Every structure is written in structure tokens, then in C-alpha cells.
């Protein structure tokens, strides 16, 4: 079994350079997050990481459904 760190390397390179991106965000939510001093980049990266992990897991389960059912 892969460690959490090893599994994460397969999803994306955490050492890859940062790249600017244009986003549209609800203005009230943006104002609230700024007032609370929430780091938008870090929050978005964590949310995307979680979503990518979940989506890759779902895809893997679909792709391996037959093999898993045969093992069970």
C-alpha cells in the first residue's frame, strides 16, 4: 500500500511552479474570506486536491468494478 505522500505524487507534482489563474467568485463570499484573512490560493489548492482525489478514486472504482466484484 502506498503512503499518503506517495499516493499524492501520482495525482500531481506538489513542487510544480505556481501558475496564475482567473476565477469568478461570488463577491460577498470573496469579501467575507478577505475579512477573515483566509488564504484563497491555499484554500483553492486544498479543495481542488480533495476533488481530484475523489474523482480519481471514483474513476478507479468504475474501471476496476468487474475485477473487484470477482474478488469478492
Residue 8 lies in a domain: no
Residue 43 lies in a domain: yes
- Distance between CA atoms of 52 and 58, rounded to whole angstroms? 10
With a threshold of 0.85, does the pTM exceed it?
no
Cell numbers representing residue 53 in the block: 482525489
Our count of domains for the chain comes to 1
Residue 57 lies in a domain: yes
Per-residue pLDDT of the chain (72 residues), as tens digits, is 444 544 544 678 889 999 999 999 999 999 999 999 999 999 999 999 999 999 999 999 998 888 888 887
Residues 6+ apart with CB under 8 A from 41: 18
> Which of helix, strand or coil describes residue 40?
helix
Secondary structure (DSSP) of 18-32: P--------HHHHHH
Amino acid at each position: 500500500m502506498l503512503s499518503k505522500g506517495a499516493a499524492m505524487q501520482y495525482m500531481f507534482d506538489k513542487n510544480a511552479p505556481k501558475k496564475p489563474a482567473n476565477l469568478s467568485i461570488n463577491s460577498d463570499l470573496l469579501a467575507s474570506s478577505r475579512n477573515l484573512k483566509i488564504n484563497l490560493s491555499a484554500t483553492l489548492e486544498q479543495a481542488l486536491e480533495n476533488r481530484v482525489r475523489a474523482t480519481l478514486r471514483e474513476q478507479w472504482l468504475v474501471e476496476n468494478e468487474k475485477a473487484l466484484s470477482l474478488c469478492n
